[in-house]
Each structure stands twice: as structure tokens, then as C-alpha cells.
Amino acid sequence: MTRMVTVGAAQMGPNALVESRKAVVQRLIVLLEQGARHGCDLVVFPELALTTFFPRWYFESQDDVDAFFERSMPSLHTRPLFEASKKLGVGFYLGYAELTEEDGHTRRFNTSILVDASGQIVGKYRKVHLPGHAEHEPWRQFQHLEKRYFETGNLGFPVFRAFGGIVGMAICNDRRWPETYRVMGLQGVEMILIGYNTPVHNPPAPEHDNLSHFHNELVMQAGAYQNGSWVVGVGKGGCEEGVDQIGNSVVIAPSGEIVSACTTLGDELAIARCDLDLTQSYKSSVFNFAKHREPASYTLIVERKGAVISV
């Protein structure tokens, strides 16, 4: 028996600073409804999908920053999305800024949730690899202050039994790090959902700009293949508050092949029928971890001619 999950990569065009949460959620519902009409079980939205990508600005006041955060989920403005999910029988992945009280402190995370087809939250992930910088850097064309506005995620890389398989989540910059996929791969992950906000221009290394699509696809295709997992990568596209975003949303099979892709830079759904059993072909052969991984060798310190060459 095959285990099919029909997934929609719900790319978003830009979110303007002035666009209300209510208006953004309405766009998400339209994409969810499109997904339902095409038989989707699950629709994946981008990172920080409810607002503009606010870490591109330096704010003096914490109140101004906190205005971008959700204090509960569902929140007042996202409740209609949960209701639509339940009514349509379509689950979703949603990225948002989370403000919470934990261990007696106010804490802020760049978070994603997994919601099942009955509109219930069944998984949460908090971004681990925060890119950018913590101090204002006026030389940049735009800021990337994730290290100022968020704490490093404290949930690790959990996987969840959902949609008939084993599902994991990551957020944006996490996708560039092999550990992200491997930690979930070691837990048997079959589908990894990743939302992103990736500018075409990278201020510290503008020489990478014309490789932004190549690098986006390279890391996710490698992560999928090397762990025998589906990967669903979903971005924002178009010019958001003066910053061009790559879009480039794709669904990748465990073979590493892209099987569905958005072709615009706006709100668009790319759909794929994903057979979770395809993962077995890789997990039981080339990437049979129990048989072929050599963890003891990975911790060896190799010294050659006095130089430490690997740890």
C-alpha cells in the first residue's frame, strides 16, 4: 500500500508593512482553498508568513518589535485560518513570530507549527540557525536582525507522526545546514517542511547574489537525497518593502529531484502527490544509516604532520 500525501507549496508574494494580519490571513485562506480544490492534504506557508519580514529594520523600541509577534496560537487574527483548515480538511505549516512567557521570562522565537486536517496543532518548531547580526549595521542596504529579535530555538529538531508519516520542520537558514536534515533523518523523517524569506541580495557577500536560486535548490535537494526524505521548500517572492525575495518554492522527492515548482514571484500554489513509501528505496539502500553510517569515525580527531585536520 502506498502512503500518498498531496502537498501544496503555498508561496506568497510580498507582505507590505502596512498590510493588516487580517488581509494576510485572507490570502492564506485563498491558498488553502485552492489546495482543497486540488486535493491537498497539507499546505505549506513561508517563514514569518503573517507579516512583512521585520528583521530587515532596526527598531529602537521593543514595543515596535513586539507588534510583529503572536502571543497565542491560534491568535485572534489566525483563528479564521484554523477554522478554514478544519472545514476544508486540509492541514498546514505556518511560520510566525512567537512571544511567550517561559521559565519566568518573556521569550521570542522564530517559530513554525504543524496543523493537522482537523485544525489542531500537532507540532511546533523554533528556528535554530538564526542568521544575520545583533547590532545595527548602517552600512547594509537593509538589516538582518534575527540575532537581535529572536532567541535560538530550544526544541531541537523534533519529528511528528502526522499525515500518515513522519514529518519534520525547519525554517529558512536552517536549510543550509546538513545537521538540520540529518538530525531529523536519524529519527526517520519522511517529509521536511521549510518556510523561508530569502533576499536575492546578500549584503555581506554580494558575489553570491546570482547564485541564490542555485544555492536554495542545492541545499534542499542534497538534504532530501542524503536522508531519503521529501522536502517542501516555500518562500516569499517579489519585492517586499524594497527587498527582492527569491520565491523559488519547490517540492523535492527523496531522489533529490524537484517534482513541482512555483513559476511566479507571487501568491502561488505548487502541488505534488508525494508517496511517502518512496523514502524506503533510499532509507533501505544507499542511506541505510544502521548499516552504513560510521558514527565512531565522525568523532575521531585526525592529526597529520601535527595539524588537526578534522574533528
> What residues line the site for ligand CDV (CB under 6 A)?
47, 131-132, 144, 172-173, 176, 196-198, 202
Query: Smallest distance from the beta carbon of 198 to ligand CDV, in angstroms?
Result: 3
**Torsional class of 230: left (φ above 0), alpha (ψ -120 to 50), beta (otherwise):** beta
Cβ proximity to ligand CDV, 176 vs 273, nearer residue: 176
Query: 9 vs 278, which CB is nearer to ligand CDV?
Result: 9
Instruction: Tell me whether residue 205 or residue 301 sits nearer to ligand CDV (CB atom).
Output: 205
CA distance 2 to 20: 42
Least spacing, CB of residue 118 vs ligand CDV, in Å: 30
- Least distance between ligand CDV and beta carbon 47 (Å): 6
Q: Are 255 and 225 in contact (CB under 8 A)?
A: yes
Q: Rounded distance, CA 250 to CA 175, Å?
A: 13
Closest approach of ligand CDV to the CB of residue 202, in Å: 6
127 catalytic? Reply is: yes
Apex 269 CA angle, 266 and 199, nearest 5: 40
Q: Pairing state of beta strands 159-162 and 165-171?
A: antiparallel
Residue 221 CA to residue 42 CA, distance in Å, equals 20
Closest to ligand CDV by CB, 177 or 289:
177
- State the cell numbers at 170: 525547519
We find the least distance from the C-beta atom of residue 36 to ligand CDV, in angstroms, to be 29
CB of 162 to ligand CDV, least distance (A): 24
Is residue 47 flagged as an active site residue? yes
Q: Which residues, other chains included, contact 117 with Cβ-Cβ below 8 Å and sequence gap of 6+? A: 41, 42, 85, 89, 90, 91, 163
Distance CA 195, CA 46 (A): 4
Residue 173 or residue 180: which is nearer to ligand CDV going by CB? Answer: 173
- Active-site position among 127, 146, 240, 262: 127
Which of 70, 98, 172, 283 is an active site residue? 172
Nearer residue to ligand CDV within complex by CB, 39 or 204:
204
Annotated active-site residue in 40, 47, 262, 283: 47
Peptide bond just before 74 cis, omega within 30 deg: yes
Q: Can you list the alpha helix ranges (DSSP code H) found in the chain?
A: 21-37, 62-66, 79-88, 146-149, 178-185, 212-227, 278-283, 289-292, 295-298
Q: Pick the closest to residue 56 from 122, 134, 142 (CA basis).
A: 142
Residues recognised as catalytic:
47, 127, 172
